[in-house]
Structure 1
Amino acid sequence: MILSSPEQVAAAKANLDAFFGLTGKVFEGVEKLVALNLQVVRSTLAEAQENVTKVPGTTDPQQWFALQAGFTGPFAEKSLSYGRQVFDIASTTQAEVTQLAQAHYERYNDRVQALVEGAAKNAPAGSEAAIAAWKSAITTTTTLYETLQKTGQQAVQAAGSNFDTLTATASKAVRSNPQQAPVAAGAKR
């Protein structure tokens, strides 16, 4: 494809800028997830090493179960915290990508409307119906886009709310009875 006009060059540059902007935001989100995962692995390995050093000193079965219960409570809390952090990173990245896509869509929509307006001014007599159909299609597309965007935002908010409720419930359950799970697991052995 040969770009023959300054407008085509500017449009190609704008499209590349939008692509690299979106790609950059996605990679920032992935980078945050990788950093979080590395942090979790480091802390998990350190805790596992600490816990392994405690186990040989336990000779009494009740002491061993109590030690296991001490491991389970913090693990559950950390798992909930990890899930919350992953959700926060994902929702932040999604919001940034949506914002960039919205800005690109608005610029594109403005160019299309300017094109239709220019065509309407230079159109031959009798083409009013075709111009009106174009304008109607643009309006319908804009309305559809806005509806989909609002629905997507509501879905993300509902997922966040549901995740918050689930996290609070699970955290409360772990805090209220941290020893029940290891004892029940020990009873099955």
Structure 2
Amino acid sequence: MQVQELVSAAQKTNIDLFVELSSAFTDNMNKLADLNLEAARTLLSTTREFSQQALATHEPSEWLTLQNAFMVPAAGQVQDYNRRLLDLAASVQATYVRCSQAQAQACSTQARAALQDFAKRVPQGSEPIVAALDSAIGAAHQLYGSLQQTGQQAVEVARTQVDLAANAAARSAKRGIDPVAQATKS
């Protein structure tokens, strides 16, 4: 391949990558805005209901029961929001990984093509240098693959930790509510 062909192919690949990432960014920002609007609407609706019922209570025990009745659903709503937000982040990360893997593969292919073109023009006895460069390109590609895999594992660990924390918070809220509910019934 000629250098001009390599440059042209790289430019086309970069433009395609830019368009795909820009489109994914825009779509995910819209999804995030929708998620936040939905969360705000839910919060306002829940707050309005709680306020109306709180104003209608006359006894402190009724107010405590009412407050506790809203805590468990609120914890569930927060947990749902966090899961949906994490799913959105995972979607963005998957798009980035797919694009970056394609870019790394294209760079590796182009580097190897340039190296082969270079190998045709070097003097006799330069084969070890060409082999070393080819090996370095292969090693860099493998390193990039390993880093991508590590990044994906980190995202999965983060997702697991958020799920565990949200579940623990929901259980804790429910445990805190149950004794109060029993005490107010007595």
1:39 aligned partner:
38
| Alpha-carbon distance in 1 for matches of 2:86, 2:177 | 25
Q: TM-score, normalised on structure 2?
A: 0.86
1:173 aligned partner:
172
- Give, in angstroms, the shift of residue 27 of structure 1: 2.4
Q: TM-score, normalised on structure 1?
A: 0.85
5+ residue gaps in structure 1?
Answer: 183-189
| Alpha-carbon distance in 2 for matches of 1:28, 1:180 | 45
SS in 1 for 2:166: helix
Equivalenced residues, count: 180
5+ residue gaps in structure 2?
Answer: 182-186
Paired-residue identity, %? 31
| Alpha-carbon distance in 1 for matches of 2:117, 2:151 | 34
| Alpha-carbon distance in 2 for matches of 1:174, 1:51 | 17
- Give, in angstroms, the shift of residue 76 of structure 1: 1.1
The answer on whether the counterparts of 1:25 and 1:96 sit within 8 Å (CA) in structure 2 is yes
1:52 aligned partner:
51
| Alpha-carbon distance in 2 for matches of 1:18, 1:72 | 45
1:131 aligned partner:
130
The answer on whether the counterparts of 1:29 and 1:89 sit within 8 Å (CA) in structure 2 is yes
The answer on whether the counterparts of 2:72 and 2:170 sit within 8 Å (CA) in structure 1 is no
The answer on whether the counterparts of 2:90 and 2:155 sit within 8 Å (CA) in structure 1 is yes
* Amino acid paired to 1:160: R
* Amino acid paired to 1:46: S
1:114 aligned partner:
113
The answer on whether the counterparts of 2:32 and 2:88 sit within 8 Å (CA) in structure 1 is yes
| Alpha-carbon distance in 2 for matches of 1:181, 1:126 | 85
1:91 aligned partner:
90
Structure 1 residues 181 and 162, CA gap change in structure 2 (3 angstroms)? farther
1:100 aligned partner:
99
The answer on whether the counterparts of 1:73 and 1:175 sit within 8 Å (CA) in structure 2 is yes
SS in 1 for 2:55: helix
The answer on whether the counterparts of 2:17 and 2:99 sit within 8 Å (CA) in structure 1 is yes
| Alpha-carbon distance in 2 for matches of 1:93, 1:115 | 33
